Amino acid sequence: MAKVAIGIDIGGTGIKGSLVDVKNGELVGERLRVETPPGGRPDDIAEVVRELISVLDPKGEVDSIGICFPAVVQHGVTKSAANVSEEWINLDADKLFTQVIGKPVHLINDADAAGVAEMKFGVGKKVKGVVMMTTLGTGIGSALFVDGKLVPNTELGHIEIDGVDYESKAAFSAKEREELSWEQWATRLQTYYSKLESLFSPDLFIVGGGVSKEHEDFLPLLKLNTKIVPAKLRNSAGIIGAAMIGLKSSK
Ligand code: BGC
């Protein structure tokens, strides 16, 4: 029988959610998306998430709810805020969402959630050794796995190269903002992944985020010693990983 949990993926521009069959990692029914409220403030986001959940589960039957968020999330407390309001820094976000939603809710970093899903149901399945998942979107998220076990909150999007926080150069948002061609963007990705490779010697890089569906336009341009593959779950990985965490913490 399907075991269903709700997964919510909060991003700098949109908030996505779905019911998820956590046994096979598939979305159940429709995936919904709403705009992130301007300013990205905690109370406003919590209210939007509450509304989204009431549409996904109108009868309030689902008790497992997980949320992923684009910041360091240490034991339910958000510790950073790269692309959202600074009010998130040091906020007990588990508590805020649990209060607003009226059920236990657990938060996790968005890239960590995507990585957890990808390791269980996607291209990372059964892969041993050091796997590094990166998500290319508004920011760059990272999730590091050692023999399938997550080392949380690695924040490797903010690695400094030539004195700059490299997320500002190599995230997909930089490609859009600066209207870079695939080749121009790939040059920056080359710098970024070469750096990660030299620091971590991973066995596998997984590239997620919405743009990973266009992987043929940029991944073949990269020259690395490490195998680099697109994520399989694409844009739904965060939702699926969040739902998995929600299920775990509701047990
Ligand atoms: C944040 C990370 C997040 C990533 C992707 C970065 O700016 O610092 O916590 O995982 O963006 O959303």
- Whether the pLDDT of residue 249 is over 90: the answer is no
Q: Which run of H or of E encompasses 165?
A: strand 164-165
Between the CA of 208 and the centroid of ligand 1 the distance, in Å, is 13
CA 91 to chain centre: 19
Distance CA 109, CA 128 (A): 22
Ligand 1 atom showing the smallest separation from residue 139 Cα: 11
Between the CA of 24 and the centroid of ligand 1 the distance, in Å, is 26
Between the CA of 67 and the centroid of ligand 1 the distance, in Å, is 14
Between the CA of 153 and the centroid of ligand 1 the distance, in Å, is 9
Average pLDDT value for residue range 205-231 = 97
C-beta 241 within 6 A of ligand 1: no
Q: Are 74 and 91 in contact (CB under 8 A)?
A: no
Q: How do residues 99-115 score in pLDDT, each as one tens digit? A: 999 999 999 999 999 99
| Percent of the chain residues topping a pLDDT of 90 | 92
- Whether the pLDDT of residue 1 is over 60: the answer is no
Report the pLDDT value the prediction gives residue 250, as an integer from 0 to 100. Answer: 66
Report the pLDDT value the prediction gives residue 246, as an integer from 0 to 100. Answer: 86
Quote the pTM value: 0.96
- Summary mean pLDDT of the chain: 95
Report the pLDDT value the prediction gives residue 12, as an integer from 0 to 100. Answer: 85
Ligand 1 atom showing the smallest separation from residue 157 Cα: 6
The residue whose C-alpha atom lies closest to atom 5 belonging to ligand 1 is 141
Token duo for residue 236: 């739904």
Q: How do residues 150-191 score in pLDDT, each as one tens digit? A: 999 999 999 999 999 999 999 999 999 999 999 999 999 999
Q: Are strands 105-109 and 65-69 parallel, antiparallel or unpaired?
A: parallel
Token duo for residue 65: 């709810």
Query: pLDDT tier at 193 (50, 70, 90 boundaries)?
Result: very high
Report the pLDDT value the prediction gives residue 71, as an integer from 0 to 100. Answer: 95
Domains defined along the chain, listed by start: 4-112+236-250 (3.30.420.40), 126-231 (3.30.420.40)
Question: Mutate which of 15, 72, 109 to test ligand 1's pocket (most atoms within 8 Å of Cβ)?
Answer: 109
The answer for 59, left when phi > 0, alpha when psi is -120 to 50, beta otherwise, is: alpha
Q: How do residues 46-75 score in pLDDT, each as one tens digit? A: 999 999 999 999 999 999 999 999 999 999
